Amino acid sequence: MLRFGPTRDLVLGLEAVLPNGKVWSGLKRLRKDNTGYDLKQLLIGAEGTLGVVTAAALKLFPLPADKATAMVGLASPHAAMSLLIQAKDAAGAGVEAFELMGRRGLDFVLKNIPDQRDPLAGSHPWYVLIEITAGIPGAAASALERLLSRALESGLIADAVVAQTEAQARALWSLRENQSPGQKPEGATWKHDVSVPIRQVARFIDRASEAMLAFVPGCRITAFGHVGDGNIHYDVIRPDGGDDAAHAARREAGSRIVHDIVADLGGSISAEHGLGTMKTEDARRYKTEVEIAALSAIRQSLDPKRIMNPRVLF
């Protein structure tokens, strides 16, 4: 996503069966087509409400000739966002991944997932997994070395480890990819999949964490995700030794606090996974009447009987 863009940028054409049973064929592989509404974009993110996609034409890219992966330890999300700026300066569009995770989330992975190792010698409040790719052999490794040398000299990061083999790179990625599985044994959790403008990522984490700790003293917060594109998985786990049912009962009120902060910062309450049934009413809270009316009219025109995934999207 960070390097190549979201699905909306990568789909050139679609074929779909519409609610009336007719097949729409829009598999033209065109970069430019200004002949009316873009039906493929309506279908993307529609959660199955406007049709069933049966074929797709996708934009592809060459495999990179070089890849370099590192994990760094640093003091705060603010330091991470400064590091992102430096990474883009050092590698440009070659920054393929920039993943933030807190120490608590890492501790849960080390505790609850087998065969995981602490990536650095010391413990740090926050970690960033960086992956850089390039089309020229050696270019990614050189860019990563420049980035880390500069960041260590300036004190922006406290420590770093660079993967020397593909196995070591996979081990670093495992620490990131097991953030959600690692927290499951810890009890009831309010999960949030949100996005904010990139410049607001650190501010969101600060504001949301202050609000959550005031709302549920002792709650355990794990914030992690694709901060290179502004997407944060912000999870609030019940206090250690607390009651799962009591924590789950406060989810709606707690999530509203988090989502209010997201909305105030100009973000989205559903970055990756769609609204589904759980967030339909939340969406009504944050979308304008004009927007909801327009979206409902589109659906009504294509699916007047509401037979496609009827319980979602207004």
CA separation for the pair 239, 81 (Å, rounded): 29
Per-residue pLDDT of the chain (314 residues; tens, 9 = 90+): 888 888 899 999 999 999 999 999 999 888 888 888 999 999 998 999 999 999 999 999 999 999 999 999 999 999 999 999 999 999 988 999 999 999 999 999 999 999 999 999 999 999 999 999 999 999 999 999 999 999 999 999 999 999 999 999 999 999 999 999 999 999 999 999 999 999 999 999 999 999 999 999 999 999 999 988 999 999 999 999 999 999 999 999 999 999 999 999 999 999 888 888 888 888 888 999 999 999 999 999 999 999 999 988 87
Handedness of CA 109, 111, 114, 116 (dihedral sign): positive
- Residues 90 and 114 grouped into a single domain: yes
- Domain final residue pick, 138, 159, 180: 180
Same structural domain for residues 28 and 130? no
* Domain identity same for 38 and 70: no
- Name 89's Cβ contacts closer than 8 Å, sequence gap at least 6: none
- What stretch of H or E contains 211? helix 201-215
Task: Give the span between the Cα atoms of 142 and 68, in whole angstroms.
Answer: 9
> Looking at the structure, do residues 213 and 128 belong to the same domain, yes or no?
no
Rounded CA separation 261/253 (Å): 13
How many domains does the chain contain in total?
Answer: 3
Residues contacting 104, CB < 8 A, separation 6+: 220, 221, 222
Residue 311 lies in a domain: no
For helices 201-215 and 251-264, give the axis angle rounded to 10 degrees: 150
Q: Has residue 1 been placed in a domain?
A: no
> Is 231 part of any domain?
yes
Q: Is residue 314 part of a domain?
A: no
Q: Which domain holds residue 97?
A: 66-180
Residue 255 lies in a domain: yes
Total residues belonging to the chain: 314
CATH of the domain at 135: 3.30.70.2190
pTM: 0.92
Same domain, 160 and 259: no
Q: State the burial class of residue 44 (Cβ atoms within 10 Å of its Cβ: 0-12, 13-18, 19+).
A: middle
Unique residue bearing structure tokens 């034409």: 57
Pairing of strands 11-17, 220-225: unpaired
Instruction: Provide DSSP, 6-28.
Output: -HHHHEEEEEEE-TTSPEEEE--
CATH of the domain at 46: 3.30.465.10
Domain identity same for 174 and 193: no
Tell me whether residue 279 is in a domain.
Answer: no
Q: CATH number of the domain that 213 lies in?
A: 3.30.70.2740
Residue 92 sits in the same domain as residue 163: yes
Hey, which bits of the chain come out as E strands?
11-17, 23-26, 52-58, 66-74, 95-102, 126-134, 159-162, 189-195, 220-225, 231-237
Q: What span, in angstroms and rounded, lies between the C-alpha atoms of 233 and 191?
A: 7
Q: Which of these three, 153, 180, 207, is where a domain ends?
A: 180
Are β-strands 126-134 and 159-162 bridged in parallel, bridged antiparallel, or unpaired?
unpaired
In the listed set 122, 148, 180, which residue is the last one of a domain according to the structure? Answer: 180
Please tell me whether residues 89 and 192 are part of one structural domain: no
Q: How many CB atoms lie within 10 A of CB 265?
A: 19
Residue 262 forms part of a structural domain:
yes
Residues 91 and 172 in one domain: yes
Question: Residues 175, 192: one domain?
Answer: no
- Domain assignment present for 244: yes
